[in-house]
Amino acid sequence: MKPLQMVDTKTQYQKIKKEVDAAVLAVMESSQFIGGKEVSEFADSLAKYNGSRYVIPCANGTDALQIALMALGLKAGDEIITPSFTYIATVEVAALLGIKPIFVEVDKKTFCIDPAVIEKAITPKTKAIVPVHLYGHAANMEAIMHLSEKHNLFVIEDNAQAIGNDYTFSNGNIKKTGSIGHIGCTSFYPSKNLGAFGDGGAIFTDDDNLAQKMRMIASHGQSKRYYHDVVGCNSRLDAMQAAILNIKLTHLDEYIAARIKAADYYDKAFAGNKKIDTPYRDNNNKHVFHQYTIILHDTNRDELHQFLADRGVPSMIYYPVPAHRQKMFDAFGGNKYQLPDTDWLTERVISLPIHTELEEEQQQLIVSQVLEFVNR
Ligand SMILES: *Cc1c(COP(=O)(O)O)cnc(C)c1O
């Protein structure tokens, strides 16, 4: 049996090695390392895949979020409403621009921002809602878009963990996550569902004006070469990553199917166990299982983590400290928040290995070790 890992990017690479190696070599031969046809081809293919009019490739998912906030004209003193139960990048970029993140609770079932608490958090300074499709499950976008219209707020989707998720509205319309809000952001960090062989990111929008602005901001605020109209940054997806992503994008749906299959296996194996809540899947979306995260009851989570590690079974805590409790946010009054559901989750979640190369015998072992600890 192959050793257990949280992700197995190596085996995944070996399966497409011929194509990938040829594509990388072609970039080296052409020596066009920045921009060029790989990058524009990838942007076009991804736009088509995601049902978005525009895709602006950039250097990473964190930059994507920052560029989105800048393009919407958010300034120091403005507020965004965002979950605290998320990866830090979502809120860090706001703080970097002097924008105040207003942290709200997540829905304990979906791990995503709870629309029911958003409205109470709106103030005259609120400019945007930033939902995160955590672990690959979509936030309740129908309710969020409704609030956005009602209160005239922008919506920036953090789609770094959910690329490929199909979200179904109550009228039957289906849209990919990342194409629903005014702007969607994603990351091609190697372990993400669509991972590069290094850093990468992209921004989605249907809006001409925003697309043009974001392209400018990602390129030193240039409208044409050496004419800089606005303050921007330098955020590019390089040609080699684009060449690799062009190939991996054609496999994304099968990668997602493999993740869902692995999740189904875990679900079945843990079904009925009172100490384990398997991940909830709302039938309004297709959970793409960037993570397989369970909630433990009457079980010492950290002891389980250690027990598994001692037996060669990796597991991770995403995330051990919610954003509002990070020291970084002391200056933003983070420590004044009362988010009991977020704290509750932070103490009870554990993520098990899930990736495209996971084999049934590996899952059997993981499950048996988890159950041995939980049932004793
Ligand atoms: C990975 C991730 C990001 C940041 O992406 P990078 O490419 O690492 O900068 C942002 N938000 C979420 C939810 C993520 O999982």
Per residue, the 3-state secondary structure of 60-80, as one string, reads CHHHHHHHHHHHCCCCCCCEE
Q: Kindly give the distance from the C-alpha atom of residue 99 to the centroid of ligand 1, in angstroms, as a whole number.
A: 19
State the distance from the centre of ligand 1 to the C-alpha of 275, rounded, in angstroms. 30
Query: Ligand 1: does its nearest atom lie under 6 Å from the Cβ of 62?
Result: yes
For 255-309, give the DSSP string. HHHHHHHHHHHHHHHHTT-TTEEPPP--TTB----SSEEEEESSS-HHHHHHHHH
User: Could you tell me if the CB of 60 is within 6 A of ligand 1?
Assistant: yes
Cα 268 to middle of ligand 1, angstroms: 30
Q: Residue 156: CB within 6 Å of ligand 1? A: no
Instruction: Categorise residue 152: left if φ over 0, alpha if ψ from -120 to 50, beta otherwise.
Output: left
Out of 6, 7, 62, give the residue to mutate to test ligand 1, the one with the largest number of ligand atoms within 8 Å of its CB: 62
Report the distance separating Cα 130 and Cα 106, nearest Å: 12
Q: Give the span between the Cα atoms of 288 and 361, in whole angstroms.
A: 22
pLDDT of residue 246: 98
Domains of the chain: 9-249 (3.40.640.10), 252-374 (3.90.1150.10)
CA dist 256 and 252 (Å) reads: 6
User: Is 159's C-beta closer than 6 angstroms to any atom of ligand 1?
Assistant: no
Residue-level length of the chain? 376
Tokens of 347: 């103490």
- Ligand 1 close to Cβ of residue 201 (< 6 A): yes
State the pLDDT at residue 335. Answer: 86
**Looking at ligand 1, which atom is closest to the CA of residue 132?**
13
* Interval between CA 132 and ligand 1 midpoint (Å): 10
- Residue appearing with tokens 């257990």: 4
Minimum-distance ligand 1 atom for the alpha carbon of 192: 1
Is the Cβ atom of 184 under 6 angstroms away from ligand 1?
A: no
Ligand 1 contacts CB of residue 87 (under 6 A): yes
Q: Which atom of ligand 1 is nearest to 187's Cα?
A: 7
Tell me how crowded residue 144 is: count the other CB atoms within 10 A of its CB: 22
Q: What are phi and psi of 338, to 5 degrees?
A: -115, 100
CA of 145 to the centre of ligand 1 (A): 22
Name beta bridge partners: 157.
184
pLDDT tens for the chain, residues 1 to 376: 899 999 999 999 999 999 999 999 999 999 999 999 999 999 999 999 999 999 999 999 999 999 999 999 999 999 999 999 999 998 999 999 999 999 999 999 999 999 999 999 999 999 999 999 999 999 999 999 999 999 999 999 999 999 999 999 999 999 999 999 999 999 999 999 999 999 999 999 999 999 999 999 999 999 999 999 999 999 999 999 999 999 999 999 999 999 999 999 999 999 999 999 999 999 999 999 999 999 999 999 999 999 999 999 999 999 999 999 999 999 888 889 999 999 999 999 999 999 999 999 999 999 999 999 999 9
Task: State the pLDDT at residue 174.
Answer: 98
Has this prediction a pTM greater than 0.85? yes
d(CA 214, ligand 1 centre) in Å: 18
Residues 372 and 310: beta-carbon distance below 8 Å:
no
Contacts for 99 with CB less than 8 Å, ≥ 6 apart = 69, 74, 75, 76, 77, 78, 79, 80, 127
